[in-house]
């Protein structure tokens, strides 16, 4: 069974880039009839906060991405110890004692010589006596994974195609700090094996991590999952934008963005498929294919999201929004008002137009006389607006803007808005006549 995972760290709120990764993993799993898992990477106890864990769950739920299971890395430490002991015994992990300052100096020296700034493996040359001396001095080691330089690293990436790395050009990665805490690399591999992850879809900034982790899977006796690396999000201006890191679900909700609109945009960003106001999650699932992804940066445009949001609102049925509409606003009102909405919050403004009071602009004497005629000719029926305008057109010779605009202004206080054929019945006969007469009175 295809099994994907989303693995955020609870050190802050999810932003649109995180949400895109989560959505794509959910779509990949659902397309194959598989499972989508949440793995909370909370091994960094100093920075992980429980309220961010709940925020991650809430944000995924808002976007409609309910995981089929959840794991917490902080509850899986015994698994990492077992893998650590095994790799130490197999000679694939080794202790190192350099300080950050020493490592930075080595890096600068290698760069100055035109060499790649990789770790020189000096710790491998240490004798047992030297290690004992370090321990006697109270100096604890950090641990690195020893890459096999005789084993070329290659995989068929689901988006980038054939990938090849020379392990000799990579640094042996640090997997455990001197204080015993874990870095990302090894626990992630251990979890992917234990959780049965078959497909890892993540950002292209992880490609070099994948190269290293491919050997970790082999060292632990497991076949690696299928990997795919998608282009990262950039702003509409074409540059990596700090704004994208500040766009979290709370910010988007405050702006009135519907989850269906965000999903419709994020599902297609980075693919060859057009971004369309697709409100159906099933339609997004059916249209998801890694073959559609390209290498070009995925541009996130807030204006495009706003346009999508309006288009999505215009097709949402009443049942999906009823609990968020103003009290008393029924399905007929929703059908009349929704074509004019950019955000759902605007429904309250238009409902106020229906329920009143409204203030019409000042009218000249000729217009007031026309509105007085309208009040006299107002007859209620199946289409009171159509009947009124046809009667007034015959009686006054007015047409177009001269006919419709004064009526709309008197009845709604606005120059434009929802179709009056649908809106006038909501206002009601008595209130409509009263508004016309108030406009006449000035």
Confidence of residue 274 (pLDDT cuts 50, 70, 90): very high
Within a 13 Å sphere around the CA of 376, how many CA atoms are in the beta-carbon half?
Answer: 9
DSSP secondary structure, 148-164, as one string: -TTS-EEEEETTTEEEE
Q: What per-residue confidence (pLDDT) applies to 44?
A: 87
Q: What is the CATH code for 3-78+181-231?
A: 3.40.50.620
Give CA–CA dist 9/49, Å, rounded: 9
Instruction: Kindly report, as residue ranges, where domains of CATH 1.10.1160.10 are found in the chain.
Output: 234-313
Residue 190, φ and ψ in degrees, nearest 5: -60, -45
Is the pLDDT score of 242 beyond 80?
A: no
Q: What per-residue confidence (pLDDT) applies to 45?
A: 85
In this prediction, residues 48-59 reach a mean pLDDT of 95
Indicate if the alpha-carbon torsion angle 57, 59, 62, 67 is positive or negative. Answer: negative
Q: What is the mean pLDDT of the chain?
A: 95
CATH class of 88-176: alpha beta
In this prediction, residues 301-319 reach a mean pLDDT of 96
Please state the pTM of the whole predicted model.
0.91
Is the pLDDT score of 260 beyond 70?
A: yes
Q: What per-residue confidence (pLDDT) applies to 245?
A: 79
Do the Cβ atoms of 410 and 420 come closer than 8 Å?
no
Q: What per-residue confidence (pLDDT) applies to 238?
A: 72
In this prediction, residues 41-53 reach a mean pLDDT of 91
In this prediction, residues 136-149 reach a mean pLDDT of 96
Q: What per-residue confidence (pLDDT) applies to 263?
A: 98
Q: What is the pLDDT of residues 177-192, one digit of tens each?
A: 999 999 999 999 999 9
In this prediction, residues 274-294 reach a mean pLDDT of 96
CATH class of 356-441: mainly alpha
Is the pLDDT score of 167 beyond 70?
A: yes
Overall residue count recorded for the chain in this entry: 442
Q: What is the CATH code for 234-313?
A: 1.10.1160.10
Q: What per-residue confidence (pLDDT) applies to 289?
A: 97
In this prediction, residues 36-50 reach a mean pLDDT of 93
User: What crossing angle do the helices spanning 400-412 and 365-377 adopt, rounded to 10°?
Assistant: 80
Is the pLDDT score of 424 beyond 90?
A: yes
CA distances from residue 336 to 54, 193, 242, 428 in whole angstroms, order as listed: 38, 54, 39, 14
DSSP secondary structure, 378-416, as one string: ---SS-HHHHHHHHHHHHH---HHHHHHHHHHHHHSSSS
Instruction: Kindly report, as residue ranges, where domains of CATH 1.10.10.350 are found in the chain.
Output: 356-441
Instruction: Kindly report, as residue ranges, where domains of CATH 3.90.800.10 are found in the chain.
Output: 88-176
Confidence of residue 109 (pLDDT cuts 50, 70, 90): very high
Is the pLDDT score of 207 beyond 90?
A: yes
Is the pLDDT score of 240 beyond 70?
A: no
Residue identified by tokens 């238009």 is 350
Instruction: Kindly report, as residue ranges, where domains of CATH 3.40.50.620 are found in the chain.
Output: 3-78+181-231
Please enumerate in sequence order all residues whose Cβ is within 8 A of that of 212, keeping only pairs 6 or more positions apart, or say none.
145, 147, 170, 173, 185
Residue identified by tokens 């215009």 is 314
CA distances from residue 301 to 16, 140, 257, 275, 360 in whole angstroms, order as listed: 11, 48, 13, 11, 38
In this prediction, residues 280-294 reach a mean pLDDT of 96
């Amino acid at each position: 069974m295809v099994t994907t995972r989303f693995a955020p760290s609870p050190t802050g709120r999810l932003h649109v880039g995180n949400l895109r990764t989560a959505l794509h993993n959910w779509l990949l799993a659902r397309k194959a009839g598989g499972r989508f898992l949440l793995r909370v990477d909370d091994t960094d106890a100093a920075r992980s906060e429980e309220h961010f864990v709940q925020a991650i769950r809430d944000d995924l739920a808002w976007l409609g991405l309910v995981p089929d299971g959840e794991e917490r890395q902080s509850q899986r430490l015994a698994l990492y110890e077992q893998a650590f002991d095994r790799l130490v015994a197999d000679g694939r992990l080794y202790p190192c004692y350099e300080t950050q300052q020493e490592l930075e100096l080595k890096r600068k020296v290698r760069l100055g010589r035109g060499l790649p700034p990789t770790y020189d493996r000096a710790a491998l040359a240490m004798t047992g006596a030297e290690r004992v001396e370090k321990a006697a001095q109270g100096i604890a080691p950090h641990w690195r994974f020893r890459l096999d330089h005789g084993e070329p690293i290659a995989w068929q990436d689901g988006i980038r195609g054939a990938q090849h790395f020379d392990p000799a050009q990579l640094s042996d990665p640090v997997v455990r700090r001197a204080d015993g805490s874990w870095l990302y690399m090894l626990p992630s591999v251990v979890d992917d094996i234990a959780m049965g992850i078959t497909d890892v879809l993540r950002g292209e900034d992880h490609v070099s991590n994948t190269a290293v982790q491919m050997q970790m899977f082999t060292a632990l006796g497991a076949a690696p999952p299928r990997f795919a690396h998608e282009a990262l999000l950039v702003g509409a201006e074409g540059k990596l934008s700090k704004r994208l890191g500040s766009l979290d679900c709370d910010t988007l909700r405050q702006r009135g963005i519907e989850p269906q609109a965000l999903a419709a945009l994020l599902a297609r960003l980075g693919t060859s498929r057009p971004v369309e106001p697709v409100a159906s999650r099933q339609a997004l699932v059916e249209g998801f294919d890694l073959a559609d992804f390209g290498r070009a940066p995925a541009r996130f445009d807030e204006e495009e999201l706003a346009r999508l949001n309006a288009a999505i609102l215009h097709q949402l049925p009443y049942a999906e929004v009823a609990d968020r509409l103003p009290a008393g606003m029924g399905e007929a009102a929703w059908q009349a008002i929704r074509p004019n909405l950019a955000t759902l919050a605007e429904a309250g403004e238009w409902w106020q137009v229906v329920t009143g009071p409204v203030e019409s602009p000042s009218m000249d004497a000729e217009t007031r006389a026309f509105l007085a005629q309208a009040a006299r000719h107002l007859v209620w029926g199946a289409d009171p607006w159509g009947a009124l305008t046809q009667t007034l057109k015959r009686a006054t010779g007015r047409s177009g803007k001269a006919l419709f605009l004064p009526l709309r202004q008197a009845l709604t206080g606005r120059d434009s808005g929802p179709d009056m054929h649908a809106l006038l019945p909501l206002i009601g006969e008595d209130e409509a006549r009263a508004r016309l007469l108030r406009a006449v009175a000035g």
